[in-house]
Amino acid sequence: MEREWLFEDVHRMFRESLHKWIVKELAPHADEWEQKQEFPMEIYRKVGEQGFFGGGIPEKYGGVGGDFRYKVVFAEELVAAKSAGTAAGLLLHDTIALPILSNFASEELKERFLVPGVRGEKVGALAVTEPDAGSDVASIKTKAVRDGDEFIVNGAKTFITNGVRADFYIVACKTDPGKGLHGMSQILIEKGTPGFKVSRKLDKLGWRASDTAELIFEDVRVPASNIIGQENHGFYQVMEGFQTERLIMAAGAVAGARHCFDITLQYCKERKAFGKPIGSFQVNRHRFADMLTWIEAARRLTYNTIWLLINGFECSKEIAMCKVFACETAIKVADLCLQLHGGYGYMMEYEIQRIWRDGRIGTIGGGTSEIQREIIGRLLGL
């Protein structure tokens, strides 16, 4: 297979086991969870029981060890759940919240949150984006003021995946506003802490089964021991997290585009017009040829960049390229595939409409395509 070169036997076994479980336990409920606009919280525990949150997490904390490739497999196979909202909730916990704890948190925080997080018993969220600060992380206004052995946190966050139902939140705050980028920290805040509340569950175009929220912090007192890593090192932690988040989004976009391609190819082999399958018309054959070329180009670019990352090479430019190309490719493919479905593609009973809606977030979340192009341009010295 085209992806075999990047993965080892342990990743392949993980993929096979994960895929079977997703097809059996998640996919049959996709429509139901989309309509309810949430999936059951017990799914986190079930994923944890199977060990699927353990990839890339040291064994001493309940993981299986290994590297970032486990997270890539997790992202790719969740496409089979047929609900990007469900995938988003699980991926946020697995590929963003848990790695932050594993990479930066104190031993105390790892025991209290990472260990149960790997088991799916506690669910995490990352709270960086604010009403007036998205990709421009340096402009966040949420502040954490030191008061003895505590921090007092005030501010607001928005577009927070898992924001309604998480058990703990990793919150980006200004701990020394006068130092700019060098005065930011990440602090863990637990659900139920006085002064912290979910102000609103947001209603979204896609990712309907995931909970996305606005958060308010009003004089929230948090133990100083809840700071993630070193004080005032939060900006670097966020930037490192952005790198892997963007690669995960690229890998998921490629897998999603291929799934979209496959179901549309099957549809166009079966659907007939003027006495023959619509896929046999030259204009449609050429569309499929173009889409497959785009998908494979995006896959090769993304896999090459993953290889660079796991082997310790600087690849910031390549990661930004992956984020742009893979996510824009997924949107183009979904749009063409919906067109190929004709009127049926516009009906809610067909999966293609959900793929089309869900994929649109790809060029927005995790840093917009415009931001990625800025990164590429600046790294070229322009």
- Catalytic center residues: 245
| CA angle (234 as vertex; 134, 253 as ends), nearest 5 | 50
Which residues lie across from 198 on neighbouring strands?
Answer: 215
Extended strands (E) in the chain: 124-127, 143-147, 150-161, 168-174, 184-190, 196-201, 212-223, 272-273, 276-277
| CA angle (250 as vertex; 316, 3 as ends), nearest 5 | 105
Report the C-alpha gap between 284 and 339 in whole angstroms. Answer: 10
Report the C-alpha gap between 372 and 374 in whole angstroms. Answer: 5
Report the C-alpha gap between 215 and 204 in whole angstroms. Answer: 16
What count of residues does the chain have?
382
Report the C-alpha gap between 30 and 78 in whole angstroms. Answer: 12
